[in-house]
Amino acid sequence: MIVVLENPQADADFISEMIKTRLDPAPEVQLSSIEHEGHILIEVKIKAGMLTSYYYYQEGTRTAYTRVGNESVECIHNNFFRWY
């Protein structure tokens, strides 16, 4: 899906900040801009990480996620301890 952005640089800064402040450990991310049909797009590439589980922080809560196949799933209590 392509979404036209009013301020691509501000949006890229926001994406970068959210990744840094809400994910632990923070994945290695590469943001780049691409011109497409006269519009600037932000391409987000996320390198596969070797550390699991990943935590998502928001409004004082911390939720653990891990990969299952090609998707990230929330770790429930029983599954979380199975990984260690």
Q: What is the pLDDT of residue 71?
A: 86
Q: What is the pLDDT of residue 78?
A: 54
DSSP category for residue 7: -
Q: Phi and psi of 13, rounded to 5°?
A: -60, -40
Mean pLDDT per 10-residue segment, the chain (84 residues): 82 93 90 87 85 82 84 72 50
Name the residue ranges covered by the structural domains of the chain. Answer: 1-49, 52-84
3 state DSSP class of 58: strand
Q: What is the pLDDT of residue 13?
A: 95
Q: What is the CA radius of gyration of the chain?
A: 16
